[in-house]
Amino acid sequence: METLVQQVLDGLMIGAAYALMATGLTIIFGLMDVVNFAHGEFYMLAAFLLFQLSAVMGVPYFVALPVAVLSVGALGVVVQRTLVRRLRGGSRLNYLYATSIATIGLSIVLQNGAQLVWGAVPKSIPQPFPTEPILLAGVALSPVRLFILLTSIVVIAVLGIGLMRTLAGRMVRATFQDREAAALIGLPVDRIDALAFGGGTMLAALAGVLLGSAFQVYPTMGGLATLKAFTVVILGGMGSFPGAIAGGFLLGVSESMAAGYISAGLKDAIGFAVVVAVLMIRPTGLLPAVRRLR
């Protein structure tokens, strides 16, 4: 029983990070129709920046963490302005290929660039949390994991409220639903794109600094993360925020269960198997977006 609770909690922690990643991917995909293959590299880069700031330069953890996330978000804006934006024009299919190649190229650059700067050996981020677990109703909770889970939930909640209640949020949602109509009524869709790309990469970055604090940081960590985020997005239903969040937690918990009860080696396969199953039964995902995608 205790191990079960432990596994569910572990799953929720990882799932929270997946949900962050997937929400970021959904924003970028939903607004710009870009399948961002460099998403995991932004996640990796943020973790390395946190490592650099806190472990190498001695910046306090709670200062370094937002700096790392914001810097990667700024990089996201730059990428949108200088690269993604220029690929519009031509057919929809060409745009899909062009953005895929561009983000794949970017991911190669970032991944190998990180390897040049920080080397291939996994790094650990020193973090300020006590190592003794907190005992709560017989369940041992490691403080760092609790921090990850709570931070993710708070960020997701703030993001949700922001999207629903603020003007910027409403503008993003309007563009999300119908780009042409949004442009017609005078919304600055181009600037909204930049904001959204930055925001989306910041969510990946946040997942990166959080998981990087609990696990290790290495240049290739983004590859699998991108794939996982894709899985979550398709599980939840492409273009759906509630789906991305639910899908994230679902994948996290099912992976953790699979690792505990089936085999640790199968952990990474489980998500993709679930995706294939979901696609056969419900091709639009669990909580599909209302928007028609083609």
Partner 1 sequence: MSARVRISLGLAVATGAAAALFIVDDAYLMRIATLGAIFAILALGLNLTAGHLGLFDFGYILYFGIGGYTTALLTLRAGWSWEAALVASVLMSVAVGLLVGVVVLRLRGPYFVIATFSFLTVAYYVAINWKEVTNGPLGLIGLPAPAFNLPAIGRVEALDPAGALAIALTGLLIAVAVVWRVVESGAGRAWHAIRDNEDLAASVGIDATAYAFLALAVSAGLGGLGGSIYAGYVGIVTPEIFAFGHMVNVLLMVVIGGTGTFLGPIVGAFLVETVPELLRVAESFRLPIFGLLLIAAILFAPQGVVSLRPWRALRAGRPRVPPVPPVEEGPA
Question: Using CB under 8 A as the criterion, which residues of the chain lie in contact with partner 1 when the complex forms?
Answer: 29, 33, 35, 83, 86-87, 90-94, 96-98, 100-102, 104-113, 115-116, 223, 227, 230-231, 233-234, 238, 263, 265-266, 268-269, 272-273, 275-276, 279-280, 283-284, 293-294
The nearer residue to partner 1, 110 or 155, going by C-beta atoms, is: 110
The nearer residue to partner 1, 32 or 163, going by C-beta atoms, is: 32
Residue 12 to residue 190: CA distance in whole angstroms: 36
Residue 127 to residue 243: CA distance in whole angstroms: 32
Asked if residue 21 lies in contact with residue 43, where contact means CB atoms within 8 angstroms, the answer is yes
The nearer residue to partner 1, 35 or 214, going by C-beta atoms, is: 35
The nearer residue to partner 1, 54 or 231, going by C-beta atoms, is: 231
Helix (H, G, I), strand (E, B) or coil at 126: coil
| Residue 266 C-beta-side C-alpha neighbours within 13 Å | 11
The nearer residue to partner 1, 56 or 120, going by C-beta atoms, is: 120
Nearest-approach distance from CB 106 to partner 1, in angstroms? 7
Q: Is 166 buried (19+), middle (13-18) or exposed (0-12) by CB count in 10 A?
A: exposed
Residue 264 to residue 259: CA distance in whole angstroms: 4
Nearest-approach distance from CB 233 to partner 1, in angstroms? 7
Residue 142 to residue 32: CA distance in whole angstroms: 39
Residue 114: count of CB within 10 angstroms of its CB? 23
Nearest-approach distance from CB 107 to partner 1, in angstroms? 8
Nearest-approach distance from CB 140 to partner 1, in angstroms? 30
Nearest-approach distance from CB 196 to partner 1, in angstroms? 16
The nearer residue to partner 1, 19 or 274, going by C-beta atoms, is: 274
The nearer residue to partner 1, 150 or 277, going by C-beta atoms, is: 277
H or E segment at 139?
Answer: strand 139-141
The nearer residue to partner 1, 116 or 290, going by C-beta atoms, is: 116
Nearest-approach distance from CB 134 to partner 1, in angstroms? 35
Asked if residue 214 lies in contact with residue 144, where contact means CB atoms within 8 angstroms, the answer is yes
Question: CA-based Rg of the chain, rounded to a whole angstrom?
Answer: 19
Q: Is 261 buried (19+), middle (13-18) or exposed (0-12) by CB count in 10 A?
A: exposed
Nearest-approach distance from CB 91 to partner 1, in angstroms? 8
Burial letters 29-51, b for 16+ CB under 10 A, else e? bbbbebbbbbbbbbbbbbbbbbb
Nearest-approach distance from CB 193 to partner 1, in angstroms? 17
